[in-house]
Amino acid sequence: MTPSFRTPIRLDQFLKLTGLAVTGGHAKTIIQAGEVRVNGVVETHRSRDLVAGDVVRFERQELTVVDSNPPVPAAATSSLRPTSETRMAPFVTRTLHETAAELRAGRTTCVAVLETCLGQIDRREPEVRAWVSIDRDGARRKASQLDEQRKGGEPQGLLHGIPIGIKDIIDIEGLPTVAGYPPWSENIAKANATVVDRLLGHGAVILGKTVTTMFAGFDPPVTRNPWNTAHTPGGSSSGSAAAVGSGMCLGAIGTQTGGSITRPASYCGAAACKPTFGRVDLTGIVPLSSSMDHGGPMAPCVRDVAMLLQALVTPADAGPPAPSDAFVSALDAPLTAPVRIGRLRGFFEFLAEDSMNAALDRAADAWRAAGATVVDIPLPSSFETILNDHKRLISGGAAAFHRERFQAAPETFLPKIRELIEDGLKVSEADLVELRRKQERARLDLMAAIEQIDAALCPATRGPAPDITTTGDPSFNAPWSFTGLPVVSFPFARAGELPLCVQVVGRPFEEASLLRTSAWLERNSAG
């Protein structure tokens, strides 16, 4: 009997994992005992044959289409508008920090904030599909409890009453951590991941689990881009980015080993921070490649990201101890000198689409007009092999974690994560030692390159979000995952109807100054 897939999954991925074939509007499965037809007629939203991008559920031997693949429109004509209206998705009506201020002032309630998010989920989730599970009852109980605490005069946390989404490779006690892998559908977490406990400790309301690609790999997800559902939301933190970008929550947590925080946030029009490697505790998070895994926040703007990062980091974590308000207070500290930015060209300029390069040229002019110094800085020679080195290191780490599971049941893995593991099985221990040596060399080279500036700057992606057959190219993000340097990204323009984002790179464990620089750039992006 074919196993159930309660979590929505793309039809093409479902067929690969189960051996199903679709013919004549029905489904059939091939098993060793022979050919067995699946009960029930497939329900479609359109009178046409099924296509690979359809999103399906499979329960009690019945296949149901829950979201038909929309037709892909002609590409929008690129129009570059680096104005204040582009800094936040049109579906987001209020930022996290604005909402927190309203809550502290008593002008709204935690229940009202939550219901606004749930209402947006009801409106957008059927087409965006950002969530694996939504804990409506638990979130409502928590919001009511927080309102009672405020009425009673109890101290309020930094994130008091703020609805947050959690990527589904991160444990939430009592909920399954599926990690996009159907055989784990009953994998109930026995405890919260450290990041979840810290968010709760600051008063956050956990809404539920957001979609991840399988094991945080590169196979396209069921999630769609909230700006245009014919486009990818990116990956692997697909659901977290789409949920924030569509206003379904005010912040979300993702992870990155290649480009899985920065890239999806960029495609979905959200700000994000991939902090320094080791800055955020990853206990309770399914690894992809432990020497490059990072956890970090997404939110509507840089100040929101700073608030989330503040909640995730404690003095006990790696790096210099951070005061309890370091990241947030840094945004309000006066600049003691004009901002000095080093623009990375070369590889980034060559691979970026024309729309991205033109938008960044205009933004650089605006930053200079506002008083910043923007200079070109060369890429170090270690950059020549950094993408290949990153790919080999990530594959080696993935193979180390999944080896036994993969060798026992390779057919349960989707094509791209399967290919990554197969490549990793060819990486020897000697190879890993050499790759880690090159990783440290690249980190030191990049630190030297940005020593005389406040931060380096380059496109967050090659261009706007591509179509749904891919999660996008992580090439612009992989160097920072490989070297562990911190990155803040934010929207600064649009290409047609889709957002464009820039990423700002800083020195290890200097997130406070990086956030301050990024916030200044965000404020002054308009020409």
Task: Report whether the peptide linkage leading into residue 236 is cis, meaning its omega lies within 30 degrees of zero.
Answer: yes
User: 78, 236, 238, 489: which one is catalytic?
Assistant: 236
> In 3D, which of 459, 93, 80, 511 has the Cα closest to residue 302?
511
How far apart are alpha carbons 205 and 100 in whole angstroms? 12
- Let me know if 4 is a catalytic residue: no
Q: Which of 208, 209, 171, 166 is nearest to 188 (CA)?
A: 171
3-state helix, strand and coil shares in percent for the chain, rounded to the nearest 5: 40, 20, 40
Directed axis angle between helix 96-104 and helix 110-128, to 10°? 160
Please pick, among 167, 274, 391, 438, the residue that the annotation labels catalytic. 167
Largest CA distance in the chain: 75
Q: Is 266 a catalytic residue?
A: no
Residue with tokens 């002032």: 105
DSSP E strands in 100-259: the ranges are 131-134, 163-167, 205-210, 251-256
**Partners of 34 in the beta sheet?**
31
The two tokens of residue 494 are: 């649009």
Q: To which H or E segment does residue 503 belong?
A: strand 498-505
Q: Which of 78, 260, 475, 489 is catalytic?
A: 260
**213 vs 166, 178, 219, 478, CA distance in Å?**
14, 10, 6, 17
Asked about 475 being catalytic, the answer comes back as no
- Helices (H), ranges, 333-385: 347-351, 354-369
The catalytic residue positions are 167, 236, 260
